[in-house]
Amino acid sequence: MLDNLPRGTICIEDLEIGMMRYLTKEVTDRDIELFAEVSTDRNPVHLDEDYAQETIFEGRIAHGMLTAGLISAVIGEQLPGHGTVYMGQSLTFLAPVRPGDVVTAEVTVMDIDHSKRRVTLKTECKIKGKPVLKGEAKVLAPSRKFD
């Protein structure tokens, strides 16, 4: 048995279809600047308001992968939590996220393959209840049993 799993981690043995976890975060100018620095994606649509005003977005937007990172946070911290291994993620971006937007990232268990410890998760980000990102993640969930 693994006795050192962090509190909040949900092992494959305890997962159920329909389980859902979420987090809510305001996306700030600092978040966008830090993401640009770490990712080296300095597209001016993210960093330069004058430039961004002339685009189809008519203003600055957050990096799509910054928003997607909130899904990773839910998976890695809550559902299933620490010890989870990402195997794949599909993403469809539906609307821009702007500085100051409050984003809710939701993760819901859709399918569980206990024999392989694989879990399929519905992933979604919303602003004021409106979806801005949808997708599906495949993960390897932690287990209380040794392989």
Instruction: Say what the pLDDT of residue 7 is.
Output: 66
- Please give the domain boundaries of the chain with CATH numbers for all domains: 12-140 (3.10.129.10)
Average pLDDT over the chain, rounded to an integer: 94
- Tell whether the model's pLDDT for residue 17 goes beyond 70: yes
Q: Specify the pLDDT at position 147.
A: 47
As a whole number, mean pLDDT of residues 69-75 equals: 98
pLDDT at site 8: 73
Reduce the secondary structure of 9-48 to three states and give it as a string. CCCHHHCCCCCEEEEEEECCHHHHHHHHHHHCCCCHHHHC
Does 106 or 8 have the greater pLDDT score?
A: 106
Select the more confidently predicted residue: 43 or 144: 43
